[in-house]
Amino acid sequence: MAEDPQRNFRSVYYEKVGFRGVEEKKSLEILLKDDRLDIEKLCTFSQRFPLPSMYRILVWKVLLGILPPHHESHGFVMRCRKEQYKDVHHALQVIRFIKDSTPQVEVFLRIYQLESGKLPRNPSLSSEAEDEVFLAIAKAMEEMVEDHIDCYWLISSFVNQLNNKYKDSIPQLPKLLEQYLSLEDSGLLTHLKLCSAMDHLPYNLWFRKCFAGCLPESSLQRVWDKVISGSCKILVFVAVEILLTFKMKLMALNSAGKIQQFLENIPQDNTDAISETMLPADPPSM
């Protein structure tokens, strides 16, 4: 079939005036109209394009397995998940692990701990490292999702994806970061090594927490689109772009501690510009 030249003209025009998502949005809407959603095609779309905000939560829920591919089952499945959330929430109240004044992200953590068989014997016990990761992701997700039950299932499913699907990949990301940085800017890499900073970069914040608490919501959503749809390697590209963006500042710092402190608190007003260049159109999966 011959391509529609008028449609092609519009696509080019939209992109030039800043509406590059118009055609992509139409393509996604077509995918979402199928009676049985094609998971592979949704993953491919999410890898190549930022998800429109109005469809992001639905796509995330499908890709994370919270909802099944069949549209007709969505209502029933979410009703079941809502009842499950309420039952566990009530149980935690009965055993006095949560109360009305408990912060919502901590409620999410306790529900997750009980469901995964990791609830501590005493609620006053100090948090484990994995709990800190959960809470960071929960805090970021809470700012993106209004419904707290949807929010819980997205958090728990995302954390499970990181702990299971990406369990072996995430520890490899620091080494990959060094490899890509050597290709992009060997001088910056040399400086970081001379300062003994490569072993002290905020890898926990960048890779374990998937930049939660580091990037603003708009940028973080675009990164999580890629991670949720199958590529944790995108985290390396984001980290490299951050290092390149703040190269001049980093080159002026001469200690691992100062470099780490700066990267853990990068200026938020620069990160939206980073998000425009840090995400390759089709990042390699990992």
Of all residues in the chain, the percent with pLDDT exceeding 70 is 85
74 close to 115: Cβ distance less than 8 angstroms = no
Q: What is the DSSP string of 29-68?
A: HHHHTSSB--HHHHHHHHHHSPPPHHHHHHHHHHHTTSS-
Question: Looking at the predicted structure, is the pLDDT value of residue 194 above 50?
Answer: yes
pLDDT of residue 190: 97
Question: Looking at the predicted structure, is the pLDDT value of residue 268 above 80?
Answer: no
> What residues contact residue 82 under an 8 Å CB cut-off, 6+ apart?
149
Predicted confidence (pLDDT) per residue in 5-51, tens digit? 444 444 443 444 444 556 788 899 999 998 899 999 999 999 999 99
Mean model confidence pLDDT for the chain: 88
Q: How confident is the model at residue 125 (pLDDT cuts 50, 70, 90)?
A: confident
DSSP category for residue 268: G
Q: Which of 264, 7, 225, 222 is nearest to 136 (CA)?
A: 264
Least confident of 6-10, 127-131, 134-138, 193-197: 6-10
Annotate 124-133 with b (16+ C-beta within 10 A) or e (fewer).
Answer: eeeeeeebeb
> What residues contact residue 220 under an 8 Å CB cut-off, 6+ apart?
140, 144, 210, 211, 212
Q: Which of 130, 127, 132 is nearest to 164 (CA)?
A: 130
pLDDT of residue 45: 95
Predicted confidence (pLDDT) per residue in 218-260, tens digit? 999 999 999 999 999 999 999 999 999 999 999 999 999 999 9
Per-residue tokens: 213: 């608490």
pLDDT of residue 24: 84
Instruction: Note if the pTM is more than 0.75.
Output: yes
Predicted confidence (pLDDT) per residue in 82-104, tens digit? 999 999 999 999 999 999 999 99
Average pLDDT over every residue of 119-138: 88
